[in-house]
Chain A
Amino acid sequence: MIPCKWKQLWDKEVALDWTVVTSNAPLFVSATLNTVAIAAATIVLSVFIAFPLAIMRDSRFGFLRWVSAGYSWTTRAMPTLSLLFLAYYGLPQFGIYLDPVVAAITGLTVIAAGYNMEYIRVGLQAVPAGQYEACRALGIPLSIALRRLIVPQAMRTILPPLTSNLTLLLKGSALASLVAVTELSGQAMALISYTYKPIEILIAVALIYLCLNGVLVGVQRLVEQRYRLQD
């Protein structure tokens, strides 16, 4: 049988002591800012990496296609946690010692780029082939063509799935706490370990995460509304 104290569950009055949360509010605030910073850095960097990869994916050169396809498959087959561990515990084998925050952002970015690369690729493919042909016919170099003509059109297809991925990024940032980063989850674990009030702290942290998630969902709705196909 599951070892639990049923009688205690019914009889016990759980006295919640919210001063643990209020007196440690500055810690929560700074930890939340860390989480937001990590998530923001991950989003920006991953899109930077994902764009070249997406272009490579449909390139003329088989080697580039192979590399980026391998990247996509690998980063989507590995657990996020293992990549974080690779960045923080694995790289020292090769003499690269990363700061925990840098390692966390690196690991999360690599994974996020794998997913974002697929969204960008779909978006670029959704732009009618005639646009690419016209650019070539007019002699516009690929780099300028992409930046000025193709990508603005591709944004409509790219942005909805990209923004819905934001929630996954936020959930991934919580894993950074397992590589010694003082972000929200890590701060929660530390506070629980010396105040022994897990219920209050975890409820507070859960509410903060839900608020952050709410903001992201709001962003996602805005983007979907803006880029919805006008009938």
Chain B
Amino acid sequence: MDVFIAQFPRFLDATWLTIWMFVLVTTVSTLIGATLAVLAEWAGKPVSLPLSVYSWVFRGLPELIVLLGCYLALPAIGLDLGSVGSAILGFTLVGIAFQLEIFRAGLNAVDKRILEATRALGMSWWLTMRRVVLPQVIRIAMPAWATFLAGNVKIFAVASAVAVTEVMAVTRQAIAVSDQPFFLIMVAAGIYAAIASILMVLEAILSRRFSTRYGLGLRR
């Protein structure tokens, strides 16, 4: 307990690092993933096939291997991002793969007949995207996206394996000088659980807000 109190500033710094890494990775991977999903649907086989391969590879590989690749292999070809940089890159690569699948599923759920109708009406591609497709996709993909988000915080603990001083790494160092490792590890898990819980609350709010617009439009 006294070890935790003595190390509290480090835990705080580590929590902050975890949070901003998570926000950055989520933002970048959502934007790129959604864009790639649109590309995959609209640009035909030459684009969608490599993207499918990319998605299969980065969803199948353990995150640890991806992180090790960014941290150990990339410097060997000249791209040295440091520990935090390579962790962010690794998680972004994995995140893009998952977001790609989420938004692909969302795009597939849009009724093709509506798209034919927009083309019959002479709506431009961008107008169709802006007014018809994206509103639907965001509503359809929101639950899956938010669920994935809440579950994705936990994997940032693996960043401790590539020398990022985030919560798990600080805990490990604190264990070395403490006689209550169980308590310290539970604290670390609690921090992640707290972040995940906040995200799950956010998810519930977002799902409720986005789902009441559907159906008969009856507001609760």
Q: Which residues of A line the B interface, CB within 8 A? A: 2-6, 8-9, 12, 14, 74, 76-83, 85-86, 89-94, 167, 170-175, 177-178, 185, 188-189, 192, 197-199, 202, 205-206, 209-210, 213-214
Q: Which residues of A contact B62 (CB under 8 A)?
A: 170-175, 185, 209
Q: Which of A12, A77, A177, A210 has the most CB of B within 10 A?
A: A77
Q: Is B206 in the interface zone, CB < 8 Å from A?
A: no
The answer to whether B65 touches A9 (Cβ under 8 A) is no
What separation, in Å, do the CA atoms of A78 and B189 have in the docked complex?
A: 5
Interface on chain A toward B: helix, strand, loop, or mixed SS?
Answer: helix
With an 8 A cutoff between CB atoms, is B197 at the interface? yes
Chain B positions near chain A (C-beta within 8 angstroms): 56-57, 59-65, 68-69, 72-73, 76-82, 85, 151, 154-158, 160-161, 168, 171-172, 175, 179-183, 185-186, 188-189, 192-193, 196-197
Partner of A167, one of B60, B68, B161, B175: B60
> B72, A192: Cβ atoms under 8 Å?
yes
Contacting pair A202 B185 (CB below 8 A): no
> A66: shortest Cβ distance to chain B, in Å?
18
CA distance A192 to B71 in the complex (A): 12
Inter-subunit contact A85/B171 (CB<8 Å)? yes
Chain B positions within 8 Å of A174 at CB level: 62-65
Chain A nearest Cβ from B155, distance in angstroms: 7
5 contacts between A and B (CB under 8 A): A5-B78, A76-B151, A78-B189, A82-B157, A91-B182
Complexed CA–CA distance, A209 and B185 (Å): 29
Given contacts A79-B154, A82-B168, A175-B64, 12 further A-B pairs with CB under 8 A are A77-B193, A79-B157, A82-B171, A82-B185, A167-B60, A174-B63, A174-B64, A178-B64, A185-B64, A189-B68, A199-B77, A202-B68
> CA–CA, A91 to B79, complex, Å?
40
Contact A77 B197 (CB under 8 A): yes
Asked whether A199 lies within 8 Å of B73 as measured between CB atoms, the reply is yes
Q: Contacts of A175 on B, CB cut-off 8 Å?
A: 62, 64, 158
Q: Could you tell me the distance in whole angstroms from the C-beta of B179 to the nearest C-beta in chain A?
A: 7
A104 CA to B82 CA, complexed, in Å:
29
* Residue among A14, A74, A205 making CB contact with B65, cutoff 8 Å: A205
Give the residue of A6, A76, A85, A178 whose beta carbon is less than 8 angstroms from that of B78. Answer: A6
Q: Contacts A9-B78, A198-B76: A85 and B168 contacting too (C-beta < 8 A)?
A: yes
Query: Cβ of B175: which chain A residues have Cβ within 8 Å of it?
Result: 89
- Give the Cβ gap from B99 to chain A, nearest Cβ, in Å: 17
- Please name the residue on chain A nearest to B159 by beta carbon: A81
| Contact in complex: A78, B158 (CB < 8 Å) | no
CB atoms of B81 and A202 under 8 A apart: no
CA distance A174 to B193 in the complex (A): 22
Contact call B182/A4, Cβ cutoff below 8 A: no
Q: Out of A77, A81, A199, A206, which one reaches B61, CB within 8 Å?
A: A206
How long is the Cα–Cα vector from A92 to B183 in the complex, in angstroms? 12
Distance, CA A4 to CA B193, complexed state (A): 35
Query: In the bound complex, how far is the Cα of B68 from the Cα of A188, in angstroms?
Result: 10
**If A85-B168, A185-B68, A198-B72 touch, does A90 touch B78 (CB 8 Å cutoff)?**
no
Contacting residues, chain B, for A171 (C-beta < 8 A): 61-63
